[in-house]
Amino acid sequence: MVEHQTTNAQQPSQAAGSEFAIDLKRVSKAFGPVQANKDIDLAVKRNSIHGIVGENGAGKSTLMSILYGFYTADSGEIWVNGQLVKIKDSSHALELGIGMVHQHFMLVENFTVLENIILGAEGEYLLASSMAKAREELTRLATDYGLNVDPDALIEDLSVGQEQRVEILKALYRGADVLILDEPTGVLTPTEADQLFRILEQLRDEGKTIILITHKLREIMAVTDTVSVMRQGEMVGTLATKDTSPEQLAELMVGRRVLLRVDKTPAEPKDVVLDVKGLSVTDDIGVPRVKDVSFNVRAGEIVGIAGVAGNGQSDLLRAISGMEAPLLGEIRVNGELVRFHGDDSASDARKMGVAHVPEDRLKMGLVTAFEEWENSILGYHESEKYGTGMFLSPKMAIAEAEKRIEMFDIRPRNPRLKTANFSGGNQQKIVLAREMDRDLDVLIVGQPTRGVDIGAIEFIHKHIIELRDKGIAVLLVSVELDEIRALSDRVLVMFDGEIVTELSPDASEREFGLSMAGVDPKEGA
């Protein structure tokens, strides 16, 4: 049972004799044959924001899980505030003042904010008094750190940014002095991310120590004081942020120079391939999500759809890919009307040459329990390439899968491996390879690089551009504005289900910011 303690910001620094809040020495951890962490040294100064960067699978999360007591290290020492400790479990870590804000929020959706915050740190058996106490404490934390959330709101009604604040409040309520944030901006819009950074800075100024795990260099540069770089389970360097550059960090991360900008020639758009007219889509409870949207995509161009997540982009994708019938409007591919008739519409859309890389590869793109080759043909399994008549030929399918593994540099190079055992970036490549390596006219891509490491991002971007140059019409939806701007030839901005404006990818940050907030920059403000 974790006793709730008041979060007096200065408390631990007075008590301790070390300038480091956290000091890891030669920490190692292996999972079977995989060495996730190798002799890691990491010293985190008190009252600082310390970034840890590395590609997916570099061992960042494992290291933090050791610090948070989710895993125990095989060897090495952990010093917290100058004291050698053995962290047994997460409640022990909490007692030591280490709090974690997980990448996937650990919140109970149908609970109120208050209930979530006291969960596990309730104190007395009856809730009434602990709730009252928590409410008071919450008001104090809100004023001290600028973390405003309605304590009685249900989590399911909150935005992702607000949910994250609840996670931070949860840790603070438990008396955390060291906050670990695991990929905190993966789900946030740029504005929300900036707000988060302000909060983190305020927390640091009030005496907290922040460890920020990310693979986004922009964030490291924007908010950290110190940055440590991990690569393949090893710590390859710790630098003062002001003395480094994104290019240097990227090089350390992947061990070679990477292009942060995408090289591409100007588009040479030809005929209209995808033509959307007056499209309206409602969700399953009848709320309009897409409102009278019209646009087209020509062969040989990439049209990006930018916008804050949840403004209808996902619903638009679902309609165009044939997964959901629109309420009104029509979609034409090469002049031919896409007809919606129940569950076959998605495969019909594919037959018309529409390839779809869904936004959420785990929910919609892959069956993770399948072997790689099975996912590699999923949706196209009736093709003659994979068998004859009604019979599937694993031999033929595996041969094709191997070819694609080669082409898309999917690792490990084993089509018989269970898909769940591939890293996020490689899973994404499996989906992309399946959708791209065939005859297609339109490619619809949702969040192509979500949760994917830098090396793979570069690779995926290059492939999308190549496809465009081959004369394919590409519709790209991403919440990463940088990605939209780097790849697209034209950008449509969606807000509240409508296309607010069309911008050139070279338009200013301000113009994008305004239009993503629903204001047409051409009209004023």
Residues near another protein (CB under 8 A): 2, 61-62, 65, 70, 89-92, 94, 100, 102, 106-111, 115-116, 118-128, 130, 170
* Residue 345 C-alpha from the chain's centroid: 29
Phi, psi of 507 (to 5 degrees): -60, 160
Cross-sheet strand order for the sheet of 336-337: 288-298, 272-282, 328-333, 336-337
Nearer to another protein, 94 or 220 (CB): 94
Answer for the pair 64, 213: CB distance below 8 angstroms, yes or no: yes
Question: d(Cα 221, Cα 155) in Å, to the nearest integer?
Answer: 31
Instruction: Give burial (CB, 10 Å; 0-12/13-18/19+) of 395.
Output: exposed
Q: Which is nearer to another protein, 111 or 370 (CB)?
A: 111
Distance in Å, CB of 138 to another protein, minimum: 16
Torsion angle (degrees, nearest 10) of CA 56, 59, 65, 67: -140
Structure tokens at 163: 């949910």
127-145 and 160-173 are packed helices; what angle lies between their axes, rounded to 10 degrees? 110
Class of residue 331 by CB neighbours under 10 A (exposed 0-12, middle 13-18, buried 19+): buried
Q: Which is nearer to another protein, 218 or 418 (CB)?
A: 418
CB of 119 to another protein, least distance (A): 5
For residue 287, the minimal CB distance to another protein (Å) is 15
Q: DSSP secondary structure string, 407-455?
A: HTT-SS--TTSBGGGS-HHHHHHHHHHHHHSS--SEEEEESTTTT--HH
Please report how close the Cβ of residue 4 comes to another protein at its closest, in angstroms: 12
User: Closest separation between CB of residue 498 and another protein, Å?
Assistant: 29
Cα atoms found within 13 Å of the Cα of residue 263, Cβ hemisphere only? 3
Q: How far is the CB of 51 from another protein (least distance, A)?
A: 20
Q: How far apart are CA 362 and CA 452, in angstroms?
A: 13
Query: At its nearest, how many Å lie between another protein and the CB of residue 329?
Result: 28
Which residue number, 63 or 250, has a Cβ lying nearer to another protein?
Answer: 63
Listed in sequence order, the residues at least 6 apart from 369 whose beta carbon sits closer than 8 Å to its beta carbon are 418, 419, 420
Residue 124 vs 506, nearer CB to another protein: 124
| Encoded tokens for 341 | 């008739």
Least Å from the CB of residue 128 to another protein: 7
Residue number, 36 or 433, with CB nearest to another protein: 36
Given the complex with another protein, which of 108 and 337 has the nearer CB atom? 108
Q: 99 or 269: whose CB is closer to another protein?
A: 99
In the complex, what is the shortest distance from the CB of residue 214 to another protein, in angstroms, rounded to a whole number? 16
State which amino acid sits at residue 505: P
Burial degree of 506 (CB within 10 A; 0-12, 13-18, 19+)? exposed
Q: What is the nearest approach in angstroms of another protein to the Cβ of residue 130?
A: 8
Closest CA to 336 of 349, 317, 318: 349
Taking the complex as a whole, the smallest distance from the CB of residue 134 to another protein amounts, in Å, to 12
Q: Which is nearer to another protein, 89 or 523 (CB)?
A: 89
Ramachandran angles phi, psi of 521, nearest 5°: -65, -25
d(Cα 278, Cα 371) in Å, to the nearest integer?
Answer: 41
> To 5 degrees, how large is the angle CA 304–CA 190–CA 256?
75
